[in-house]
Structure 1
Protein backbone atom coordinates (compact mmCIF):
# COMPACT_ATOMS: atom_id res chain seq x y z
CA UNK A 1 0.00 0.00 0.00
CA UNK A 2 2.67 2.48 1.01
CA UNK A 3 4.73 2.60 -2.18
CA UNK A 4 1.78 2.83 -4.57
CA UNK A 5 -0.10 5.46 -2.54
CA UNK A 6 3.09 7.47 -2.03
CA UNK A 7 3.78 7.40 -5.77
CA UNK A 8 0.39 9.03 -6.42
CA UNK A 9 1.75 12.30 -4.98
CA UNK A 10 -0.06 15.09 -3.19
CA UNK A 11 -3.06 14.99 -5.53
CA UNK A 12 -3.61 11.28 -4.79
CA UNK A 13 -3.94 10.66 -8.53
CA UNK A 14 -1.48 9.62 -11.23
CA UNK A 15 -1.36 8.16 -14.71
CA UNK A 16 -0.26 4.52 -15.03
CA UNK A 17 2.75 5.66 -17.07
CA UNK A 18 3.86 7.98 -14.27
CA UNK A 19 3.58 5.15 -11.74
CA UNK A 20 5.55 2.86 -14.03
CA UNK A 21 8.29 5.47 -14.39
CA UNK A 22 8.33 5.72 -10.57
CA UNK A 23 9.14 2.01 -10.35
CA UNK A 24 5.65 0.66 -9.62
CA UNK A 25 5.31 -2.68 -11.39
CA UNK A 26 2.12 -4.03 -12.93
CA UNK A 27 1.79 -6.79 -10.33
CA UNK A 28 2.23 -4.38 -7.41
CA UNK A 29 -0.37 -2.07 -8.89
CA UNK A 30 -2.86 -4.90 -9.47
CA UNK A 31 -2.44 -6.04 -5.86
CA UNK A 32 -3.04 -2.50 -4.57
CA UNK A 33 -6.19 -2.24 -6.67
CA UNK A 34 -7.32 -5.67 -5.47
CA UNK A 35 -6.91 -4.62 -1.83
CA UNK A 36 -8.88 -1.44 -2.45
CA UNK A 37 -5.95 0.81 -1.57
CA UNK A 38 -6.33 2.53 -4.95
CA UNK A 39 -8.68 2.21 -7.91
CA UNK A 40 -8.48 2.65 -11.65
CA UNK A 41 -10.42 5.48 -13.29
CA UNK A 42 -10.94 5.38 -17.04
CA UNK A 43 -8.37 2.56 -17.21
CA UNK A 44 -5.21 4.69 -17.31
CA UNK A 45 -5.65 6.83 -14.18
CA UNK A 46 -5.12 5.57 -10.65
CA UNK A 47 -6.58 7.40 -7.65
CA UNK A 48 -6.19 6.88 -3.92
CA UNK A 49 -8.87 6.88 -1.25
CA UNK A 50 -8.15 10.51 -0.36
CA UNK A 51 -8.33 11.82 -3.93
CA UNK A 52 -10.61 14.86 -4.14
CA UNK A 53 -13.99 13.80 -5.62
CA UNK A 54 -13.88 16.68 -8.12
CA UNK A 55 -10.49 15.55 -9.39
CA UNK A 56 -11.70 11.97 -9.71
CA UNK A 57 -14.73 13.21 -11.64
CA UNK A 58 -12.52 15.20 -14.03
CA UNK A 59 -10.31 12.20 -14.69
CA UNK A 60 -13.32 9.98 -15.28
CA UNK A 61 -14.68 12.49 -17.80
CA UNK A 62 -11.43 12.45 -19.78
CA UNK A 63 -10.63 16.09 -19.01
CA UNK A 64 -8.43 18.18 -16.69
CA UNK A 65 -9.74 19.74 -13.47
CA UNK A 66 -9.90 23.51 -14.02
CA UNK A 67 -11.12 26.94 -12.94
CA UNK A 68 -12.84 27.24 -9.53
CA UNK A 69 -12.81 23.47 -8.98
CA UNK A 70 -9.04 23.36 -9.45
CA UNK A 71 -8.63 26.44 -7.22
CA UNK A 72 -10.38 24.60 -4.37
CA UNK A 73 -8.07 21.60 -4.79
CA UNK A 74 -5.09 23.98 -4.84
CA UNK A 75 -6.25 25.13 -1.38
CA UNK A 76 -7.62 28.53 -2.42
CA UNK A 77 -10.94 30.28 -1.76
CA UNK A 78 -13.72 27.86 -2.64
CA UNK A 79 -16.30 29.39 -4.96
CA UNK A 80 -19.77 27.86 -4.71
CA UNK A 81 -20.57 26.39 -8.11
CA UNK A 82 -23.28 24.08 -9.36
CA UNK A 83 -20.77 22.55 -11.77
CA UNK A 84 -17.42 20.77 -11.69
CA UNK A 85 -15.16 22.81 -13.97
CA UNK A 86 -12.83 20.99 -16.36
CA UNK A 87 -10.71 21.96 -19.35
CA UNK A 88 -10.26 20.01 -22.58
CA UNK A 89 -8.69 20.51 -25.98
CA UNK A 90 -11.01 21.87 -28.64
CA UNK A 91 -10.63 18.68 -30.63
CA UNK A 92 -11.02 16.37 -27.65
CA UNK A 93 -13.40 13.50 -28.21
CA UNK A 94 -15.08 10.92 -26.01
CA UNK A 95 -15.62 13.16 -23.00
CA UNK A 96 -17.82 11.38 -20.49
CA UNK A 97 -20.23 14.02 -19.24
CA UNK A 98 -22.28 11.83 -16.92
CA UNK A 99 -20.88 10.34 -13.72
CA UNK A 100 -21.70 6.78 -12.64
CA UNK A 101 -24.06 6.39 -9.69
CA UNK A 102 -21.21 5.05 -7.56
CA UNK A 103 -19.24 8.31 -7.84
CA UNK A 104 -19.72 10.74 -4.95
CA UNK A 105 -19.42 13.85 -7.18
CA UNK A 106 -22.56 14.03 -9.31
CA UNK A 107 -22.63 17.69 -10.44
CA UNK A 108 -22.72 18.46 -14.15
CA UNK A 109 -19.51 19.51 -15.87
CA UNK A 110 -18.65 23.01 -17.09
CA UNK A 111 -16.11 22.47 -19.88
CA UNK A 112 -13.52 25.16 -20.64
CA UNK A 113 -12.43 24.44 -24.19
CA UNK A 114 -8.83 25.38 -25.01
CA UNK A 115 -6.42 25.23 -27.92
CA UNK A 116 -3.52 24.38 -25.62
CA UNK A 117 -4.42 21.73 -23.01
CA UNK A 118 -2.07 21.48 -20.06
CA UNK A 119 0.52 18.75 -20.58
CA UNK A 120 1.05 16.15 -17.88
CA UNK A 121 4.23 14.96 -16.22
CA UNK A 122 4.78 12.40 -18.97
CA UNK A 123 4.82 13.24 -22.67
CA UNK A 124 1.62 12.30 -24.44
CA UNK A 125 -0.77 12.47 -21.47
CA UNK A 126 -2.92 15.31 -20.23
CA UNK A 127 -2.48 16.90 -16.82
CA UNK A 128 -4.85 15.87 -14.05
CA UNK A 129 -5.27 19.47 -12.83
CA UNK A 130 -4.48 22.82 -14.42
CA UNK A 131 -1.64 24.84 -12.91
CA UNK A 132 -2.33 27.94 -10.83
CA UNK A 133 -1.50 30.59 -13.51
CA UNK A 134 -3.95 29.04 -15.96
CA UNK A 135 -6.54 28.58 -13.21
CA UNK A 136 -6.44 32.27 -12.27
CA UNK A 137 -6.97 33.31 -15.90
CA UNK A 138 -9.85 30.83 -16.24
CA UNK A 139 -11.55 32.17 -13.12
CA UNK A 140 -11.16 35.79 -14.25
CA UNK A 141 -13.00 34.91 -17.47
CA UNK A 142 -15.60 32.66 -15.87
CA UNK A 143 -16.59 34.22 -12.55
CA UNK A 144 -17.83 37.61 -11.29
CA UNK A 145 -15.00 40.02 -10.50
CA UNK A 146 -15.46 39.81 -6.72
CA UNK A 147 -15.16 36.00 -6.74
CA UNK A 148 -12.05 36.16 -8.94
CA UNK A 149 -10.52 38.74 -6.59
CA UNK A 150 -11.28 36.48 -3.61
CA UNK A 151 -9.38 33.61 -5.24
CA UNK A 152 -6.42 35.83 -6.18
CA UNK A 153 -6.33 37.31 -2.67
CA UNK A 154 -6.25 33.83 -1.15
CA UNK A 155 -3.41 32.84 -3.52
CA UNK A 156 -1.42 35.85 -2.27
CA UNK A 157 -2.15 35.19 1.41
CA UNK A 158 -1.19 31.51 1.08
CA UNK A 159 2.02 32.47 -0.79
CA UNK A 160 0.98 30.46 -3.85
CA UNK A 161 1.88 33.47 -5.98
CA UNK A 162 3.52 36.85 -5.35
CA UNK A 163 2.01 40.21 -6.27
CA UNK A 164 4.70 40.88 -8.93
CA UNK A 165 4.01 37.44 -10.44
CA UNK A 166 0.30 38.12 -10.46
CA UNK A 167 0.77 41.50 -12.13
CA UNK A 168 3.11 39.96 -14.72
CA UNK A 169 0.51 37.30 -15.49
CA UNK A 170 -2.19 39.95 -15.82
CA UNK A 171 -0.07 42.08 -18.15
CA UNK A 172 -0.86 39.76 -21.06
CA UNK A 173 -4.53 39.22 -20.20
CA UNK A 174 -6.86 42.24 -20.01
CA UNK A 175 -9.62 40.32 -18.20
CA UNK A 176 -7.29 39.19 -15.42
CA UNK A 177 -5.81 42.69 -15.30
CA UNK A 178 -9.23 44.06 -14.32
CA UNK A 179 -9.30 41.56 -11.43
CA UNK A 180 -5.75 42.22 -10.25
CA UNK A 181 -6.53 45.93 -9.93
CA UNK A 182 -8.67 45.02 -6.90
CA UNK A 183 -6.45 42.46 -5.12
CA UNK A 184 -4.99 43.25 -1.73
CA UNK A 185 -2.11 41.29 -0.14
CA UNK A 186 -3.54 41.76 3.37
CA UNK A 187 -6.98 40.29 2.65
CA UNK A 188 -7.68 37.51 5.12
CA UNK A 189 -10.73 35.74 3.69
CA UNK A 190 -12.80 35.45 0.54
CA UNK A 191 -15.85 36.89 2.29
CA UNK A 192 -13.86 39.99 3.18
CA UNK A 193 -12.54 40.30 -0.39
CA UNK A 194 -16.02 40.06 -1.87
CA UNK A 195 -17.34 42.73 0.49
CA UNK A 196 -14.40 45.03 -0.28
CA UNK A 197 -14.92 44.81 -4.06
CA UNK A 198 -18.69 45.28 -3.83
CA UNK A 199 -18.29 48.34 -1.61
CA UNK A 200 -15.70 49.77 -4.00
CA UNK A 201 -18.33 49.66 -6.75
CA UNK A 202 -20.35 52.12 -4.66
CA UNK A 203 -17.32 54.34 -4.17
CA UNK A 204 -16.69 53.13 -0.62
CA UNK A 205 -13.07 52.44 0.36
CA UNK A 206 -12.71 49.66 2.90
CA UNK A 207 -9.16 49.19 4.21
CA UNK A 208 -8.71 45.47 5.03
CA UNK A 209 -7.01 43.85 8.01
CA UNK A 210 -6.14 46.96 9.97
CA UNK A 211 -5.10 47.00 13.62
CA UNK A 212 -7.24 49.21 15.87
CA UNK A 213 -6.27 49.62 19.52
CA UNK A 214 -4.34 46.36 19.49
CA UNK A 215 -7.16 44.41 17.82
CA UNK A 216 -7.16 43.39 14.16
CA UNK A 217 -10.41 44.08 12.33
CA UNK A 218 -11.46 42.84 8.88
CA UNK A 219 -12.15 46.28 7.44
CA UNK A 220 -12.27 49.99 8.28
CA UNK A 221 -14.27 52.66 6.50
CA UNK A 222 -13.33 56.26 7.22
CA UNK A 223 -11.96 56.85 10.72
CA UNK A 224 -14.19 54.76 12.98
CA UNK A 225 -16.58 52.43 11.11
CA UNK A 226 -15.26 48.89 11.61
CA UNK A 227 -16.62 45.89 9.69
CA UNK A 228 -16.19 42.29 10.84
CA UNK A 229 -17.05 39.27 8.69
CA UNK A 230 -17.64 35.88 10.29
CA UNK A 231 -16.95 32.75 8.26
CA UNK A 232 -17.98 29.23 9.16
CA UNK A 233 -14.56 28.23 10.48
CA UNK A 234 -12.64 30.61 12.79
CA UNK A 235 -15.72 32.21 14.33
CA UNK A 236 -18.01 29.19 14.67
CA UNK A 237 -17.11 28.04 18.19
CA UNK A 238 -18.87 29.46 21.25
CA UNK A 239 -15.57 30.49 22.85
CA UNK A 240 -14.41 32.38 19.75
CA UNK A 241 -17.80 34.02 19.29
CA UNK A 242 -17.76 35.27 22.88
CA UNK A 243 -14.20 36.55 22.46
CA UNK A 244 -15.19 38.42 19.28
CA UNK A 245 -18.12 40.08 21.03
CA UNK A 246 -15.95 41.14 23.98
CA UNK A 247 -13.46 42.72 21.56
CA UNK A 248 -16.30 44.47 19.73
CA UNK A 249 -17.61 45.97 22.99
CA UNK A 250 -14.14 47.14 23.98
CA UNK A 251 -13.79 48.99 20.67
CA UNK A 252 -17.30 50.46 21.08
CA UNK A 253 -16.30 51.84 24.47
CA UNK A 254 -13.35 53.49 22.72
CA UNK A 255 -15.80 55.26 20.44
CA UNK A 256 -15.62 53.04 17.37
CA UNK A 257 -18.71 51.80 15.54
CA UNK A 258 -18.47 48.01 15.01
CA UNK A 259 -20.80 46.16 12.65
CA UNK A 260 -20.54 42.38 12.28
CA UNK A 261 -21.90 40.34 9.37
CA UNK A 262 -21.95 36.61 8.64
CA UNK A 263 -20.71 34.83 5.53
CA UNK A 264 -24.28 33.99 4.49
CA UNK A 265 -25.30 37.64 4.79
CA UNK A 266 -22.44 38.69 2.51
CA UNK A 267 -23.27 36.00 -0.03
CA UNK A 268 -27.07 36.10 0.02
CA UNK A 269 -28.20 39.34 1.73
CA UNK A 270 -25.79 41.84 0.26
CA UNK A 271 -28.45 44.52 -0.33
CA UNK A 272 -29.00 44.71 3.44
CA UNK A 273 -25.27 45.10 4.14
CA UNK A 274 -24.83 47.75 1.46
CA UNK A 275 -27.85 49.68 2.72
CA UNK A 276 -26.56 49.55 6.30
CA UNK A 277 -23.09 50.81 5.40
CA UNK A 278 -24.32 53.58 3.10
CA UNK A 279 -26.86 54.71 5.71
CA UNK A 280 -24.20 54.95 8.43
CA UNK A 281 -21.94 56.90 6.08
CA UNK A 282 -24.78 59.24 5.10
CA UNK A 283 -25.17 60.06 8.80
CA UNK A 284 -21.45 60.77 9.02
CA UNK A 285 -20.95 58.01 11.58
CA UNK A 286 -17.89 56.61 9.78
CA UNK A 287 -15.80 59.59 10.94
CA UNK A 288 -15.17 61.14 14.32
Structure 2
Protein backbone atom coordinates (compact mmCIF):
# COMPACT_ATOMS: atom_id res chain seq x y z
CA UNK A 1 0.00 0.00 0.00
CA UNK A 2 1.74 3.16 -1.22
CA UNK A 3 1.23 6.03 1.21
CA UNK A 4 3.84 8.20 -0.47
CA UNK A 5 6.11 8.09 2.60
CA UNK A 6 9.25 5.94 2.52
CA UNK A 7 12.32 5.10 4.54
CA UNK A 8 15.40 6.38 2.79
CA UNK A 9 17.07 3.00 3.03
CA UNK A 10 14.09 1.34 1.35
CA UNK A 11 14.30 3.71 -1.60
CA UNK A 12 18.01 3.00 -1.97
CA UNK A 13 17.18 -0.65 -2.59
CA UNK A 14 15.64 0.31 -5.92
CA UNK A 15 17.60 3.44 -6.94
CA UNK A 16 21.12 4.79 -6.64
CA UNK A 17 22.12 7.42 -4.11
CA UNK A 18 22.77 9.88 -6.94
CA UNK A 19 19.30 9.29 -8.39
CA UNK A 20 17.70 9.76 -4.98
CA UNK A 21 19.62 12.97 -4.34
CA UNK A 22 18.46 14.20 -7.75
CA UNK A 23 14.85 13.34 -6.93
CA UNK A 24 15.11 15.35 -3.70
CA UNK A 25 16.70 18.26 -5.52
CA UNK A 26 13.94 18.47 -8.14
CA UNK A 27 11.10 18.05 -5.63
CA UNK A 28 10.02 14.49 -6.31
CA UNK A 29 10.84 13.73 -2.67
CA UNK A 30 11.18 15.88 0.42
CA UNK A 31 12.64 14.93 3.79
CA UNK A 32 10.04 14.98 6.55
CA UNK A 33 12.25 13.44 9.23
CA UNK A 34 15.76 12.06 9.37
CA UNK A 35 15.74 8.94 7.22
CA UNK A 36 12.18 9.45 5.93
CA UNK A 37 11.07 10.99 2.65
CA UNK A 38 7.66 11.85 1.18
CA UNK A 39 6.31 12.55 -2.29
CA UNK A 40 4.29 15.73 -2.95
CA UNK A 41 1.08 13.66 -3.06
CA UNK A 42 1.79 11.65 0.12
CA UNK A 43 -1.09 10.88 2.49
CA UNK A 44 -1.25 13.83 4.95
CA UNK A 45 -2.05 11.59 7.92
CA UNK A 46 0.95 9.39 7.23
CA UNK A 47 3.17 12.45 6.83
CA UNK A 48 1.93 13.75 10.19
CA UNK A 49 2.59 10.45 11.93
CA UNK A 50 6.13 10.15 10.60
CA UNK A 51 6.92 13.84 11.12
CA UNK A 52 6.27 13.60 14.86
CA UNK A 53 8.47 10.54 15.30
CA UNK A 54 6.20 7.57 14.66
CA UNK A 55 4.25 5.63 12.06
CA UNK A 56 0.56 5.23 11.37
CA UNK A 57 -1.05 2.36 13.29
CA UNK A 58 -4.21 1.15 15.04
CA UNK A 59 -7.52 2.47 13.68
CA UNK A 60 -5.86 4.97 11.34
CA UNK A 61 -3.86 2.24 9.60
CA UNK A 62 -6.74 -0.25 9.64
CA UNK A 63 -8.94 2.24 7.81
CA UNK A 64 -6.30 2.41 5.08
CA UNK A 65 -6.29 -1.39 4.93
CA UNK A 66 -10.04 -1.39 4.24
CA UNK A 67 -11.62 -1.90 7.66
CA UNK A 68 -14.73 0.02 8.74
CA UNK A 69 -13.65 2.31 11.58
CA UNK A 70 -15.82 4.43 13.86
CA UNK A 71 -15.41 8.07 12.70
CA UNK A 72 -12.83 10.01 14.70
CA UNK A 73 -10.44 12.91 14.30
CA UNK A 74 -7.75 11.16 16.35
CA UNK A 75 -4.58 10.16 14.53
CA UNK A 76 -3.27 6.83 15.83
CA UNK A 77 0.52 6.77 15.97
CA UNK A 78 3.10 4.43 17.48
CA UNK A 79 6.67 5.45 18.15
CA UNK A 80 9.24 4.18 15.71
CA UNK A 81 12.21 4.64 18.05
CA UNK A 82 12.82 3.73 21.68
CA UNK A 83 13.03 7.40 22.64
CA UNK A 84 9.41 8.10 21.68
CA UNK A 85 7.82 4.66 21.98
CA UNK A 86 6.23 5.41 25.35
CA UNK A 87 4.64 8.71 24.35
CA UNK A 88 1.52 8.92 26.58
CA UNK A 89 -0.84 9.79 23.72
CA UNK A 90 0.40 7.13 21.31
CA UNK A 91 -0.68 3.54 20.74
CA UNK A 92 1.04 0.46 22.11
CA UNK A 93 0.34 -3.23 21.73
CA UNK A 94 0.40 -5.97 24.32
CA UNK A 95 3.90 -7.41 24.26
CA UNK A 96 7.02 -6.29 22.43
CA UNK A 97 6.32 -4.10 19.39
CA UNK A 98 7.72 -5.22 16.03
CA UNK A 99 10.44 -3.31 14.22
CA UNK A 100 9.19 -0.46 12.05
CA UNK A 101 9.55 -1.28 8.35
CA UNK A 102 6.98 1.04 6.76
CA UNK A 103 5.23 4.35 7.38
CA UNK A 104 1.92 2.48 7.81
CA UNK A 105 1.76 -0.61 10.00
CA UNK A 106 0.65 -3.82 8.32
CA UNK A 107 -2.81 -5.10 9.19
CA UNK A 108 -1.80 -7.60 11.94
CA UNK A 109 0.42 -5.05 13.71
CA UNK A 110 -2.25 -2.34 13.52
CA UNK A 111 -4.84 -4.79 14.85
CA UNK A 112 -2.69 -5.69 17.86
CA UNK A 113 -2.35 -2.01 18.68
CA UNK A 114 -6.11 -1.55 18.30
CA UNK A 115 -6.70 -4.40 20.76
CA UNK A 116 -4.96 -2.40 23.46
CA UNK A 117 -5.85 1.15 22.41
CA UNK A 118 -9.52 1.14 21.43
CA UNK A 119 -12.67 0.82 23.54
CA UNK A 120 -14.27 -2.62 23.25
CA UNK A 121 -17.09 -1.38 21.02
CA UNK A 122 -14.76 0.18 18.45
CA UNK A 123 -12.44 -2.82 18.51
CA UNK A 124 -15.30 -5.26 17.86
CA UNK A 125 -16.54 -3.06 15.00
CA UNK A 126 -13.13 -3.36 13.34
CA UNK A 127 -12.93 -7.13 13.88
CA UNK A 128 -16.42 -7.62 12.42
CA UNK A 129 -15.42 -5.55 9.41
CA UNK A 130 -12.16 -7.41 8.82
CA UNK A 131 -13.97 -10.75 8.83
CA UNK A 132 -16.94 -9.66 6.75
CA UNK A 133 -14.77 -8.03 4.09
CA UNK A 134 -12.47 -11.03 3.88
CA UNK A 135 -9.45 -9.07 5.06
CA UNK A 136 -8.82 -11.59 7.83
CA UNK A 137 -10.04 -15.12 8.54
CA UNK A 138 -11.41 -16.19 11.94
CA UNK A 139 -8.38 -18.44 12.48
CA UNK A 140 -5.99 -15.60 11.61
CA UNK A 141 -7.82 -13.28 14.01
CA UNK A 142 -7.47 -15.83 16.81
CA UNK A 143 -3.82 -16.39 15.96
CA UNK A 144 -2.98 -12.69 16.09
CA UNK A 145 -4.69 -12.12 19.42
CA UNK A 146 -4.45 -15.54 21.05
CA UNK A 147 -1.98 -14.36 23.65
CA UNK A 148 -3.76 -11.10 24.46
CA UNK A 149 -5.14 -10.38 27.96
CA UNK A 150 -8.52 -11.62 29.14
CA UNK A 151 -10.24 -8.32 28.32
CA UNK A 152 -9.31 -8.77 24.66
CA UNK A 153 -10.44 -12.40 24.67
CA UNK A 154 -13.79 -11.32 26.11
CA UNK A 155 -14.14 -8.71 23.37
CA UNK A 156 -13.50 -11.38 20.74
CA UNK A 157 -16.53 -13.34 21.99
CA UNK A 158 -18.67 -10.42 20.74
CA UNK A 159 -17.28 -10.53 17.20
CA UNK A 160 -19.71 -11.54 14.45
CA UNK A 161 -18.30 -11.49 10.94
CA UNK A 162 -21.80 -11.66 9.44
CA UNK A 163 -22.35 -7.97 10.26
CA UNK A 164 -22.21 -6.11 6.96
CA UNK A 165 -21.49 -2.62 8.28
CA UNK A 166 -19.94 -0.92 11.26
CA UNK A 167 -23.23 0.78 12.11
CA UNK A 168 -24.93 -2.62 12.18
CA UNK A 169 -22.32 -3.86 14.65
CA UNK A 170 -22.76 -0.76 16.81
CA UNK A 171 -26.52 -1.27 17.06
CA UNK A 172 -26.08 -4.97 17.85
CA UNK A 173 -23.61 -4.24 20.65
CA UNK A 174 -25.62 -1.36 22.10
CA UNK A 175 -28.87 -3.33 22.12
CA UNK A 176 -27.38 -6.32 23.92
CA UNK A 177 -29.24 -7.33 27.06
CA UNK A 178 -29.58 -10.64 28.94
CA UNK A 179 -33.26 -11.01 28.04
CA UNK A 180 -32.95 -10.10 24.34
CA UNK A 181 -32.37 -12.55 21.53
CA UNK A 182 -30.55 -10.61 18.81
CA UNK A 183 -29.67 -12.32 15.54
CA UNK A 184 -27.58 -11.00 12.66
CA UNK A 185 -28.41 -11.15 8.94
CA UNK A 186 -31.64 -13.16 9.26
CA UNK A 187 -33.37 -14.43 6.10
CA UNK A 188 -37.15 -13.94 6.13
CA UNK A 189 -39.30 -15.59 3.44
CA UNK A 190 -40.99 -13.03 1.16
CA UNK A 191 -38.88 -10.23 2.69
CA UNK A 192 -35.25 -11.18 2.29
CA UNK A 193 -32.27 -10.86 4.59
CA UNK A 194 -32.48 -8.22 7.32
CA UNK A 195 -29.65 -6.69 9.33
CA UNK A 196 -30.88 -7.52 12.83
CA UNK A 197 -33.79 -9.45 14.29
CA UNK A 198 -34.73 -8.84 17.92
CA UNK A 199 -36.91 -11.52 19.43
CA UNK A 200 -39.36 -13.05 17.01
CA UNK A 201 -40.61 -10.02 15.10
CA UNK A 202 -38.68 -6.75 15.57
CA UNK A 203 -36.48 -5.95 12.58
CA UNK A 204 -33.76 -3.31 12.68
CA UNK A 205 -32.25 -2.19 9.39
CA UNK A 206 -29.30 0.21 9.41
CA UNK A 207 -28.80 2.38 6.35
CA UNK A 208 -25.23 3.13 5.32
CA UNK A 209 -23.62 6.54 4.86
CA UNK A 210 -24.20 6.50 1.09
CA UNK A 211 -27.71 5.08 1.34
CA UNK A 212 -29.71 8.02 -0.05
CA UNK A 213 -27.47 8.26 -3.12
CA UNK A 214 -29.44 5.37 -4.61
CA UNK A 215 -33.14 6.31 -5.01
CA UNK A 216 -33.99 2.89 -6.43
CA UNK A 217 -32.63 1.17 -3.31
CA UNK A 218 -34.61 3.61 -1.19
CA UNK A 219 -37.82 2.61 -2.96
CA UNK A 220 -37.05 -1.12 -2.79
CA UNK A 221 -36.37 -0.96 0.93
CA UNK A 222 -39.56 0.93 1.68
CA UNK A 223 -41.53 -1.71 -0.21
CA UNK A 224 -39.68 -4.41 1.71
CA UNK A 225 -40.55 -2.73 5.01
CA UNK A 226 -44.19 -2.72 3.98
CA UNK A 227 -44.02 -6.40 3.08
CA UNK A 228 -42.46 -7.20 6.46
CA UNK A 229 -45.19 -5.27 8.28
CA UNK A 230 -47.88 -7.12 6.33
CA UNK A 231 -46.35 -10.38 7.60
CA UNK A 232 -46.56 -9.26 11.22
CA UNK A 233 -43.02 -7.96 11.69
CA UNK A 234 -42.15 -4.54 13.09
CA UNK A 235 -39.39 -3.00 10.96
CA UNK A 236 -37.34 -0.12 12.33
CA UNK A 237 -34.96 1.68 9.99
CA UNK A 238 -32.07 3.72 11.39
CA UNK A 239 -29.84 6.10 9.47
CA UNK A 240 -26.07 6.37 9.65
CA UNK A 241 -26.29 9.72 11.43
CA UNK A 242 -28.75 8.40 13.99
CA UNK A 243 -26.40 5.59 14.97
CA UNK A 244 -23.18 7.60 14.94
CA UNK A 245 -24.28 11.02 16.17
CA UNK A 246 -27.79 10.76 17.65
CA UNK A 247 -27.79 7.49 19.56
CA UNK A 248 -28.71 9.23 22.83
CA UNK A 249 -32.00 10.24 21.19
CA UNK A 250 -32.57 6.90 19.50
CA UNK A 251 -32.00 4.50 22.38
CA UNK A 252 -34.92 5.63 24.60
CA UNK A 253 -37.28 5.30 21.65
CA UNK A 254 -36.09 1.77 20.93
CA UNK A 255 -36.41 1.03 24.62
CA UNK A 256 -40.04 2.13 24.55
CA UNK A 257 -40.76 -0.25 21.66
CA UNK A 258 -39.21 -3.10 23.62
CA UNK A 259 -41.21 -2.22 26.73
CA UNK A 260 -44.34 -2.66 24.63
CA UNK A 261 -43.13 -6.20 23.82
CA UNK A 262 -43.41 -5.64 20.08
CA UNK A 263 -40.44 -7.95 19.60
CA UNK A 264 -42.31 -10.81 21.27
CA UNK A 265 -45.29 -10.72 18.94
CA UNK A 266 -45.19 -13.74 16.62
CA UNK A 267 -45.26 -13.00 12.89
CA UNK A 268 -48.14 -14.19 10.73
CA UNK A 269 -47.85 -17.76 9.54
CA UNK A 270 -48.56 -17.57 5.82
CA UNK A 271 -48.12 -21.32 5.31
CA UNK A 272 -50.46 -23.04 7.80
Number of the residue aligned with 2:58: 67
Structure 2 gap segments, 5+ residues each? 267-272
Q: Is the 8 A contact 2:30 2:37 kept in 1?
A: yes
The equivalent residue for 2:71 is: 80
Alignment of 1:135-146 (within 5 A): 135-146=110-121
TM-score, L = length of structure 1: 0.79
Structure 2 CA distance for partners of 1:117 and 1:215, relative to 1, 3 Å = same
Q: Distance in 1 between matches of 2:36 and 2:98?
A: 16
Of the three residues 14, 19, 32, the one matched with 2:11 is 19
The separation in 2 between residues aligned to 1:236 and 1:206, in whole angstroms, is 29
> Offset at 1:191?
0.7
1:50 and 1:258 map into 2 onto residues whose CA distance is 46
Displacement of 1:281 in angstroms is: 2.7
Q: Is the 8 A contact 1:209 1:219 kept in 2?
A: yes
Once the two structures are TM-superposed, the CA of residue 37 in structure 1 deviates from its matched residue by: 4.3
**Aligned Cα root-mean-square deviation (Å):** 2.8
Return the TM-score normalized by structure 2. 0.83
State the match for 1:155 in structure 2.
130
Matches within 5 A, 1:49-64: 49-64=40-55
Q: Is 1:178 equivalent to 2:154 in the alignment? A: yes
Structure 2 equivalent of residue 118 of structure 1: 98
- Name the CA shift for 1:44/1:269 in 2 (closer, same or farther; >3 Å): same
Match of 1:132 among 107, 121, 126: 107
Secondary structure in 2 matching 1:78:
coil
CA displacement 1:216-270 (0-9 Å, x = unmatched): 2211112221101112124443333233222222222232211011122112332
Distance 1:92 1:116, change over 3 A: farther
CA–CA distance in 1 between the matches of 2:40 and 2:194? 40
In structure 2, the partner of 1:272 is: 249
The separation in 1 between residues aligned to 2:85 and 2:154, in whole angstroms, is: 36
For structure 1, the 5+ residue unaligned runs are 1-8, 98-108, 122-126
1:197 matches 2:173: yes
